[in-house]
Amino acid sequence: MFQPRSAAFEKRWRRCLRALRVECPTLLPVRVVRFREPGPVRMCAWAAVVEGGAGFRVVIRELVYERGASRSRRMNDSEMIEVLMHEWAHCMAWHGGHSDLQDHSPAWGVAYSECYRAVIED
């Protein structure tokens, strides 16, 4: 059975999202979704442009696979925050059409540092 995260984490999560929305604006709205089941894709998270360019969707899986592992494990609270900042930085760095999307460009690095300052150095 999946154990819910602590109230303290949920409070920290909401504070982190609020800081990102205020201090790290994006060109388009961002919707963050958390999944509790591991998926067939062995990625813990991804950010994508919503079809039609209406915004961004960030998907974070709480259960992840280690490299080469056959069983998933639950991400700890700090990992969840780190992953959120990483994916938010993608949303900040992406401009223009789909052809402009680069995973970890210099613009992404600058955006990630801004996210880090907004959340960690709060």
Q: What is the pLDDT of residues 36-88, one digit of tens each?
A: 776 655 677 888 878 777 889 999 988 887 667 677 788 899 999 999 999 99
pTM, two decimal places:
0.86
Mean pLDDT computed over 96-118: 79
Q: Is 96 a residue whose pLDDT tops 70?
A: no
Residue 82: its pLDDT value, please? 94
Strand 30-35 with 56-61, pairing: parallel
Of 1-5, 19-23, 110-114, the one with minimum mean pLDDT is: 1-5
100 phi/psi in degrees, rounded to 5: -85, -5
For 44, counting Cβ atoms within 10 Å of its Cβ (0-12 exposed, 13-18 middle, 19+ buried), the class is buried
Please give the average per-residue pLDDT across 91-113, as a whole number.
77
What's the average model confidence in pLDDT over 1-8? 79
- Taking residues 111-116, what's their average pLDDT? 96
Looking at every residue in the chain, the average pLDDT score rounds to 84
